[in-house]
Amino acid sequence: MRFTVAVCTWNRAALLSRALERLARVQQPAGEWELLVVNNNSDDDTERVLDSFESRLPLRRAFEPEQGLSHARNRAVEQAAGEYIVWTDDDALVGENWLAAYGRAVERYPDAAFFGGPIRPRFEGTPPRWLSSAWREVGVAFAARDLGEEPFELAVGRLPFGANYVIRAREQRQFPYDPALGRRRDGGAVGEETAVLRAVLAAGGTGRWVPDAPVEHWIPKERQTTRYLREYYALQGKTFVKTDAGPLRLWCGILYAESAYALARLGGDPRRWLKPLVKASLLRGSARR
């Protein structure tokens, strides 16, 4: 088995159905492939959606009772039969050429341990004007990733994101996902895939960018808000921000950043008020940790 396409899902049956519809149209890559869907203890119509695609996809199912994305990913790794694990999300829409493009990349770069491709936004409706004008500054909060139209060797600081990457199974099993990272019912943290890819690089592995293997990432209306941005950057702060500052200094920093945000917001230009909003959210996440 050449590829295991792995999708972890929790209570998003409608989005999962759309994602599977796209996967049912992909071109056959070089070598056999399977689709492994990990149900992370859903209580919606997830299983009925999977039933409806049994005859259209090379589908296998797994169940992970411990809620949390890293637990679900590790279950997929345990169950995967492929030489390479191809990761995407239940809210990502793949193109017809997506899997075939990764197949060609694997053939061209057999020594590479992982690969990644573009993630482009697909908005529900028209995004608010402030989000469109400041997209370059905050696209990362919506999992947007585009590192250019030419293949190159990936490195720290230029790594793929969780909705669209491939990792060779032997390296993936050597570096499992940290349950302290990854989304959970209570929010959790972010960056579980980045930690794995960094570990692969530190061990001497290499990665390649595959520009012709894009996916679209669904961004619903409820995420097109400053509230969502605060929640995302607070999770990022909880995950990555380390500080030696005491509690008083930390909260003074939060107060300063919040004040700067409030004043800049009066001017209306999102390129000025987003920076203090992000800083305040990162500090709040660090304080929670």
pLDDT value at position 98? 97
* Cα torsion angle, 181, 182, 188, 190, sign: positive
**Domains delineated in the chain:** 3-223 (3.90.550.10), 226-288 (no CATH)
pLDDT in single tens digits along all 289 residues of the chain: 899 999 999 999 999 999 999 999 999 888 899 999 999 999 999 999 999 999 999 999 999 999 999 999 999 999 999 999 999 999 999 999 999 999 999 999 999 999 999 999 999 999 999 899 889 888 988 999 999 999 999 999 899 999 999 999 999 999 999 888 766 665 566 678 989 999 999 999 999 999 999 999 999 999 999 899 888 888 777 665 443 444 544 455 555 455 555 655 655 667 665 666 665 665 555 555 5
What is the model's pLDDT at position 48?
Answer: 97
pLDDT on residue 244: 43
228's enclosing H/E stretch is helix 226-240
Question: Sign of the CA dihedral 143, 148, 153, 157?
Answer: negative
Q: Tell me how many helices (H) and strands (E) the chain has.
A: 11, 10
Cβ pair 167, 85 in contact under 8 A: yes
Q: pLDDT value at position 179?
A: 87
| Residue-level pLDDT at 266 | 58
Instruction: State the pLDDT at residue 278.
Output: 65
Query: Does the CA dihedral 131-134-137-139 come out positive or negative?
Result: positive
State the DSSP string of 10-71: SS-HHHHHHHHHHHTTPPPPSS-EEEEEEE-S--SSHHHHHHHHTTTS-EEEEE--S-SHHH
Helix axes 226-240, 270-288, angle to 10 degrees: 50
Amino acid identity at 46: T
Structure confidence at residue 6 (pLDDT): 98
Alpha-carbon span 74 to 175, nearest angstrom: 10
How do 114-116 and 164-168 pair as beta strands? Answer: antiparallel
Which DSSP string corresponds to 88-103?
A: EETTEEE-TTHHHHHH
- The pairs formed by 21-28 with CB atoms below 8 angstroms and a separation of 24 or more are 22/93, 22/94, 22/95, 23/57, 23/94, 24/53, 24/56, 24/57, 25/96, 26/94, 26/95, 26/96, 26/97, 26/98, 26/99, 26/100, 27/96, 27/97, 27/99, 27/100, 28/99, 28/100
pLDDT of residue 152: 95
Contact 264, 273 (CB under 8 A): yes
d(CA 28, CA 38): 22
**The predicted structure's pLDDT at residue 265:** 62
Cα–Cα distance between 277 and 274 in angstroms, integer? 5
Task: Round to whole Å and give the CA distance between 257 and 48.
Answer: 47
Residue 241 pLDDT:
47
